[in-house]
Structure 1
Amino acid sequence: MKYTKLGSTGTTVSRLCFGTWRFGKETSGVVETDEDQAHELLDAAWDQGINFIDTANVYGTPNGTSEEYVGDWLSDHDREDLVIASKVYFPFGDGGPNREGLGRKHIRNQIDGTLDRLGTEYLDIYYIHRWDENTPIVETLRTLDRLVEEGKVNHLGASTMAGWQLTKALWKSDVEELERFEVTQPLFHAAYRDDVIDYLDVCADQDLAVCPYSPLAGGFLTGKYERGDDGPQSVVAPDDSRASFDDRFDDFYVSARGWHVLDEIRAIADELDATPAQVALRWLIQQDQFTTIPIVGARTVDQLNENTGAVDIKLSQDQHNRISEARYDEEGKRWGHRT
């Protein structure tokens, strides 16, 4: 495993982060990863040198299950060897007027619950999971700043939002002399970049670390899916793959653009004697405008071991460009979702 500094912070993390959003999660009645499987995956990640673990208060069924799984595993390890991230925003539990969003009351309640479930006194990174249009950003930032002062949080992070919202939050932190967001977590992969370019431009300008979620497009860019006969969104899925039980998969990840990018990724994988998953992850790692640490969410140890192989290959500049350019047709027009 190779390591890097987390943006402009002094924290050192592995070039891949292990994501735990599947831990205890029920999808269409199927538990994606139970506790024994979760601990086996965490052991494998640790054995591969991954020291960066990502979770959230709402991951799992019921909410908090993922944090509990991670906390049970963490109790057998030296806390100082791990970099742990969690999040706040979405409704927790049965809901209620103060059980969601980024107001002071909800953040205060959730940080204590998160720390208790993880069995730790502090988080290395605390993300706002989304932007809260109903709470002034200064209230959120002052609350988070106080958590840093109290030693409950080391660094602040921001997940998916508009580029102008991230800019506004960074500006407010600057003028109010509050802790700023140092880490971001957008949806970002080889077939989905132009859609978040404004956000990524802010990250580059402000030297923010980028930790993309769904870096393999929900598994689509692993190459295990094949085209169907009914248009760009038609896909042939292996049994037990995500597409076989997630009704949103076709609409969310499968597109004409995706197939073109995947074709190029497959070709380069053949050239490097690597797998499509490794090439897709390496394309992210080799972004040169900001430090990128993809969040991998493998369902099996074999998948995780395959993913970690991304740190051992290298794309030439030409190969990197070919993947980027596969998003566009010969006239320079970006491929769409259905055409």
Structure 2
Amino acid sequence: MDYRQLGATGTRVSELCFGTWRFGRRTGGVLETDETAAHELLDAFAAGGGTFIDTANIYGEPNGTSEEYIGDWLETRERDRYVLASKVYFEFDEANPNGSGLSRTHIRDQIEGTLDRLGTDYLDLYYVHRWDEHTPIEETLSALDGLVEDGRVNYLGASTMAAWQLTKALWTSDVNDYARFDVTQPLFHAGYYEDVEPYLDVAADQDLAVCPYSPLAGGFLTGKYTRADPEDPKSVRAPDGSRGSFDERFERFYLSERGWKVLETVREVADELDATPAQVALRWLMDQEAFTCVPIVGARTVNQLEENLGATAVSMSEAQHDRITDARYREDGRRWGH
């Protein structure tokens, strides 16, 4: 696996980031990834050259379980070989009126818990998980700047906010001489690109790294789904147990005429390259030219993870990359609808 600069920072990371939102998560009362399976996945990621690991304080049940799994795994490893990212914003303690958001109080409280669970005295990257409408951005950025100043955090990131919010935060950091966001984490994949174009324009202009979550559209771009009705893009045949068979968000977030057109082209390119659709969809992201793009993969099994890691060995031509990009548009230049 190759390594690349994380935006304008001096830190290099693996071409793919491993997302751990399934660690300790329960769906319908069933534990998705227990600690043994989590460590097997982390072992496979590290064996493939992976160094960049993403989590959040609210991943797992109870909150913090994912961070604890990672911390236990790191006990027998060299901490400085890995780039750890976590997040803050969502409610961690429902009994605490200050147990959520981006206030100075919540940020300072949560960074201590995150570091303790991870078993480390610093975090490489700390994201704000969402924008907080109830806390002045100056307070949030001042608190985050303090974490950078005292060495508990190396870099700051922004996940899932509007382009104007990201721009406002960067401007506020600049005029107050606060540490600024160096990394962004939007929902971004080949079939969804246009919806976040203004956000990506800010990232490109400001030399921010982009670490997309759900880069395979919840599994849609792996090619395991088939269209059930040519007149209805929401009509899909989903394998039993797959996300599309039980997740109501799947239809709303990932099924569209645009998505099916892109998937068709992804499949064609995959056949040409003797690769899988998942590998091609990830490579399309990794080959973005306007900004450093490091997709976050969240495999359920070691086999799935190893397939995803295979994207690092795929070589796609510029023409093939453009075909996937162009599949989002009709012949008249209009974008296919969602």
Per the shorter chain, which TM-score range? over 0.9
Residue in structure 2 matched with residue 225 of structure 1 by the alignment: 225
Tell me if structure 2 keeps the 8 A contact 1:129–1:159: yes
Q: Would the aligned equivalents of 1:20 and 1:55 in 2 still touch at CA under 8 Å?
A: yes
Q: Secondary structure at the match of 1:85?
A: strand
Q: Find the counterpart in structure 1 of residue 81 from structure 2.
A: 81
Give, in whole Å, the separation in 2 of the partners of 1:169 and 1:57: 22
2:161 corresponds in structure 1 to: 161
Give the Cα–Cα distance (whole angstroms) in 2 for the partners of residues 98 and 246 of structure 1.
31
Is the aligned partner of 1:253 residue 2:254?
Answer: yes
In the alignment, the residues of structure 2 paired with residue 71 and residue 109 of structure 1 have an alpha-carbon distance, to the nearest angstrom, of 18
User: Could you tell me how far apart the structure 1 residues matched to 2:62 and 2:220 are?
Assistant: 27
Cα distance in structure 1, aligned partners of 2:159 and 2:95: 21
Tell me, in whole angstroms, the C-alpha distance in 2 between the residues paired with 1:234 and 1:29: 27
In the alignment, does 2:204 pair up with 1:187?
Answer: no
Amino acid at match of 2:98: N
Equivalent residue number for residue 117 of structure 2: 117
SS of match in other structure, 1:21: coil
- Which amino acid in 1 is paired with 2:247? D
Q: CA deviation at 1:163?
A: 0.7
Q: Residue deviations 1:213-269, cap 9 Å, x none?
A: 000001110001111238211111112222223232222211111111000000000
Per-residue CA distance 1:178-197 (angstroms, 9 max, x = gap):
10000110000001111111
Partner of 1:60 in structure 2? Answer: 60
Amino acid corresponding to residue 67 of structure 1 in structure 2:
E
Q: TM-score, normalised by structure 2?
A: 0.98
Structure 1: which amino acid aligns with 2:90?
Answer: F
Contact 1:238 1:244 in 2 (8 A): yes
Q: Give how far 1:199 is off.
A: 0.7
SS of 1:278's equivalent?
helix
* Alignment match, 2:245: 244
Matched, 1:51 2:54: no
Q: Is the 8 A contact 1:124 1:154 kept in 2?
A: yes
- Amino acid of the structure 2 residue aligned with 1:241: S
Match in the other structure for 1:38: 38
Alignment of 1:211 onto 2:214: no
- Aligned counterpart, 1:151: 151
Q: How many residues align?
A: 337
TM-score, normalization: structure 1? 0.97
Q: Does 1:332 align with 2:328?
A: no
Look up the match of 2:268: 267
Structure 2: segments with no counterpart, 5+ residues:
none
Distance 1:71 1:189 in 2: 30
Q: 2-side partners of 1:27 and 1:189: how far apart?
A: 24
Displacement, 1:95?
4.7
Mapped contact 2:93–2:100 kept (Cα < 8 A) = no
Provide the residue aligned with 1:174 in structure 2. 174
**2:235 and 2:29 mapped to 1: Cα distance?**
24
Distance 2:294 2:118 in 1: 22
Work out whether 1:18 is the aligned partner of 2:22.
no
Paired position in structure 1 for 2:133: 133
Task: Give unmatched runs, 5+ long, in structure 1.
Answer: none
Post-superposition Cα deviations, 1:101-120, rounded to whole Å, max 9, x if no partner, equal 10000001100011111111
Is the contact made by 2:59 and 2:65 (CA closer than 8 Å) also made in structure 1?
A: yes
Deviations 1:29-77 (A, max 9, x none): 2222111111100000000000000000011112111111111111111
Matched with 1:290 is 291
Secondary structure of the corresponding residue to residue 248 of structure 1:
helix
Look up the equivalent residue of 2:336 and give its one-letter code.
Answer: W
Distance 2:252 2:69 in 1: 31
Q: Hey, what's the Cα distance between the residues in 1 that align with 2:103 and 2:290?
A: 33
Q: % of aligned pairs identical?
A: 69
Are the aligned partners of 2:5 and 2:12 in contact in 1 as well (CA < 8 Å)?
A: yes
CA contact (8 A) 1:191 1:258 kept: yes
Q: In structure 1, what residue type is equivalent to 2:265?
A: E
Matched residue, 1:5: 5
Q: Determine if contact 2:87/2:128 at 8 Å carries over to the other structure.
A: yes
**Worse-matched range after superposition: 217-226 or 230-239:** 230-239
Measure how far apart 1:315 and its partner are.
1.4
Structure 1 counterpart of 2:266, one-letter code: I
